[in-house]
Structure 1
């Protein structure tokens, strides 16, 4: 998406509408509604400016929640990975404090697809690279057993 289009889109208040949809039990139960929302947010998450707007619209908790339990958890996990990859360090710390890493790790434990596993691990690596407090993030990753998962992958 180009920046001018993005700005026009945000000016419409679309993110407030998305937030309401994510809070609606009827919409959440309908894969035909929720799947395009994940794709929409994914497409917006291409730069820190857009990610900031997503954070300000209070969508991160919903994204994390949907990545944990929804019928389209893969789509929301990919969206979360894209946001963590494309955000700046301050935004990364905010998103991490919302339990993004544990959500991705839980998803990692269930995934069989090697490409998805690699993408999740690359996301963890990107988060470590941009982290202002590497030790805390490293400790959290260690607590979730992320490094054990990497060792297991190396042995395959």
Structure 2
């Protein structure tokens, strides 16, 4: 479970964001309060959150409407599989993902790597870990 204390506002050492265009992101996570806290952190890091989706169907709708650069995808979605959802979003919309995961078991990591993610952030995470993952993803997308 994502700990809210890990999502407190980042300290000033993480600002300003690296030069370049901010990323436009969607958050795909079924825990709406944790997703809202994550959105606040992403905003503080200089990125734009286009929306929060609690399911694959909601994510596909957001992607079609908002054209984000990438998704922050929870591995486990309520009533669904985040890895399979990320695979379909990539196939159908060309959207790449950074995974948010509490799981570091071999089987889960093997499934994640098969989708060629832009990154994996293990929860709970620090703001600096999230910032590094986003900065690397931004470089890969450009």
* TM-score category, normalised to shorter length: 0.3 to 0.5
Structure scoring higher RCO (CA < 8 A, sep ≥ 6) equals 2
Higher radius of gyration, 1 or 2: 1
- Which TM-score applies when normalising by structure 2? 0.34
Q: Which has the higher strand share?
A: 2
